[in-house]
């Protein structure tokens, strides 16, 4: 059964049951379906992407479902994203309609913009869409992720991959027993970890309880929200679980129904896993792995005893085939480290308007080479870092080249390199090492300009001047020397 048919069935069966709840309000299954079907009636007839902008307002999931129903890909983005980035995403995605659940920033103004009151009017007054779209090969969503060439790149995920992910996730031990229950959503909708919240929950008739950024920034608010969530499942980044665990208030008494935590997006520290298991002896902990290009996650390992380093997945239960490839793209034998690649129905359709990147073909199936180093041993996958310079920070993927690309447009900058700030291998943020054309700009001015172009997690926290920029013998920036320079500051 297709995902949309499953949700339609749940809408009929569950009726007044809550489908989605956040501080902005709640939606029953009937409301979710009726609003989305009406909005889809408005959206149908075109096939260009729809930019959906906002935070955790209940209109956001209505817009996503409406886009799926209308057969148009949705492009989720945050209302508080930097204006330059929003303008770029709007242009690069060639969005023909913009739906803003939160007040729209000026970068999205124009005749194709509908803001919340207009969306509500459309939901109330448009005749609903009659037929569910066919063609599972169409794009379900386009997600923009950091690009090494200086601009974010839009990853195209087809409906077939979203449906495959939803089926796989809903059958995972641990998830299977609680998809019909309440799931707690942490991830922003512009981060594809949220895919694991909305679609499996609605396919099974469950409730999504979404935490907004204000609740996540204040521990007292966060624990109060968790306490009233009734959550049975939490999907989160390891950083978020760690934040929750920093106070003893986060324990089984606060979340008596919690049975499963699904973690993805970055390395899970063994300490966090241990603390969680001590505080929640009755819950299962799943450590998952997967890039945005292969639909949220492709494998998962249940963390049980003392195992270090922690595996990121089981090969046998993976959503697509996991491969370890050598430098020439040849598969490597078990135990040998190489590049992690994914082949099968999880793999997306490439990037919009760009060359192939890591996308390719493997024995007639779609392949994605992740750029992650890893190894497979004893049926499990281990993540061993990156092949290139990509940085993972708080679950976000950052290409230093994108930040350097912004710096290179400043006339005051002669040369710039962006590096991770590390503590025992863990990334604490970014540092910009700059060779200035004349004198350095004040750090406040640097920060102000950065915020106009990049999300806060991509803005360097440390500014270091060098003169001249150290170069290797073949004339490239000497990144090793620069890392040493930062460590000795």
Partner 1 sequence: MSEKELQQLLRELLPLACGTPDAIKPGTDLLKTGILDSLGLIILLDELADRGIEIQPTQVELSRFSSLEGIAALCREALEQQGPAGQ
Interface positions with partner 1 (CB under 8 A): 217, 219-220, 223, 239, 242-243, 246-249, 271, 394, 421-423, 426, 428-429, 431, 461-462, 489
Based on CB atoms, which residue is closest to partner 1, 349 or 392? Answer: 392
Nearest distance from residue 461's CB to partner 1, in Å?
6
Based on CB atoms, which residue is closest to partner 1, 21 or 397? Answer: 397
Nearest distance from residue 429's CB to partner 1, in Å?
5
Residues with Cβ within 8 Å of residue 348, at least 6 apart in sequence? 155, 156, 157, 158, 161, 292, 293, 294, 295, 359, 366, 368
Based on CB atoms, which residue is closest to partner 1, 242 or 375? Answer: 242
- In angstroms, the CA 380 to CA 247 distance is 32
Based on CB atoms, which residue is closest to partner 1, 234 or 342? Answer: 234
Token pair of 339, please? 């590049």
Nearest distance from residue 229's CB to partner 1, in Å?
17
Helices and strands of the chain, counted as H and E runs: 14, 25
Nearest distance from residue 114's CB to partner 1, in Å?
34
Residues with Cβ within 8 Å of residue 171, at least 6 apart in sequence? none
- In angstroms, the CA 339 to CA 325 distance is 5
Least Cα distance to 210 among 22, 65, 422 occurs for 22
Token pair of 221, please? 């608010």
Nearest distance from residue 217's CB to partner 1, in Å?
7
Continuous H helices in 218-327: 219-229, 238-245, 270-279
Nearest distance from residue 148's CB to partner 1, in Å?
23
CB 301 within 8 A of CB 287: yes
- In angstroms, the CA 469 to CA 356 distance is 32
Based on CB atoms, which residue is closest to partner 1, 55 or 200? Answer: 55
Nearest distance from residue 218's CB to partner 1, in Å?
8
CB 127 within 8 A of CB 59: no
Based on CB atoms, which residue is closest to partner 1, 259 or 279? Answer: 279
Nearest distance from residue 243's CB to partner 1, in Å?
6
Based on CB atoms, which residue is closest to partner 1, 9 or 271? Answer: 271
Based on CB atoms, which residue is closest to partner 1, 65 or 427? Answer: 427
Phi, then psi, of 52 in degrees rounded to 5: -115, 115
CA angle (319, 395, 238) in 5-degree steps: 80
CA angle (397, 372, 274) in 5-degree steps: 75
Based on CB atoms, which residue is closest to partner 1, 223 or 436? Answer: 223
Q: From residue 446, how far is each of 87, 338, 415, 432, 440 by CA, in Å?
A: 21, 38, 15, 10, 9
Nearest distance from residue 14's CB to partner 1, in Å?
35
């Amino acid at each position: 059964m297709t995902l949309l048919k499953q949700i339609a069935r749940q809408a009929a069966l569950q009726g007044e049951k809550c489908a989605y709840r956040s501080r902005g309000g709640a939606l029953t299954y009937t409301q979710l379906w009726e609003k989305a079907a009406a909005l889809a009636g408005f959206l149908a007839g075109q096939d260009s992407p729809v930019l959906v902008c906002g935070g955790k307002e209940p209109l956001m999931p209505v817009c996503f479902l409406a886009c799926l129903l209308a057969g148009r890909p949705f492009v989720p983005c945050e209302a508080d994203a930097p204006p330059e980035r929003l303008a770029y995403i709007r242009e690069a995605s060639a969005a023909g309609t913009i739906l803003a659940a939160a007040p729209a920033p000026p970068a999205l103004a124009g005749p194709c913009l509908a803001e919340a009151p207009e969306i509500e009017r459309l939901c109330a007054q448009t005749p609903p869409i009659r037929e569910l779209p066919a063609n599972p090969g169409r794009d379900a969503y386009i997600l923009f992720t950091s690009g090494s060439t200086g601009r974010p790149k839009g990853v195209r995920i087809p409906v077939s991959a979203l449906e495959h992910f939803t089926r796989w996730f809903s059958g995972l031990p641990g998830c299977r027993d609680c998809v019909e229950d309440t799931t707690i959503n942490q991830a922003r909708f512009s981060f594809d970890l949220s895919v694991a919240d909305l679609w499996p929950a609605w396919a099974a008739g469950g409730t999504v309880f979404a935490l907004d950024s204000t609740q996540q920034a204040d521990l007292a608010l966060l624990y109060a929200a968790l306490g009233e969530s009734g959550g049975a499942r939490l999907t989160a980044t390891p950083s978020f679980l760690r934040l929750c665990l920093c106070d003893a208030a986060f324990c089984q008494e606060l979340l008596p129904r919690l049975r499963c935590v699904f973690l993805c997006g970055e390395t899970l520290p063994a300490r966090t896993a241990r603390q969680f298991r001590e505080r929640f002896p009755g819950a299962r902990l799943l450590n998952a792995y997967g890039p945005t290009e292969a639909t949220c996650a492709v494998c998962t390992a249940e963390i049980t005893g003392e195992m270090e380093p922690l595996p990121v997945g089981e090969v046998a239960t993976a959503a697509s085939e996991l491969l370890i490839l050598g430098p020439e793209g040849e598969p490597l034998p078990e135990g040998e480290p190489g590049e992690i690649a994914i082949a099968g129905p999880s793999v997306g359709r490439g990037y919009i308007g760009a060359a192939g990147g890591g996308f390719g073909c493997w024995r007639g199936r779609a392949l994605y080479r992740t750029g992650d180093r890893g190894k497979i041993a004893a049926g499990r996958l281990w993540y061993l870092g990156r092949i290139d310079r990509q940085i993972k920070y708080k679950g976000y993927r950052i290409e230093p080249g994108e930040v350097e690309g912004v710096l290179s447009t400043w006339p005051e900058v002669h040369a710039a390199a962006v590096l991770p700030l590390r503590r025992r291998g863990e990334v604490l943020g970014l540092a910009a090492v700059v060779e200035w054309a004349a004198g350095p700009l004040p750090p406040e001015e640097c920060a102000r300009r950065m915020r106009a172009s990049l999300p806060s997690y991509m803005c360097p926290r440390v500014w270091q001047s060098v003169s001249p920029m150290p170069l290797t013998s073949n004339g490239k920036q000497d990144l090793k020397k620069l890392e040493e320079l930062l460590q000795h500051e």
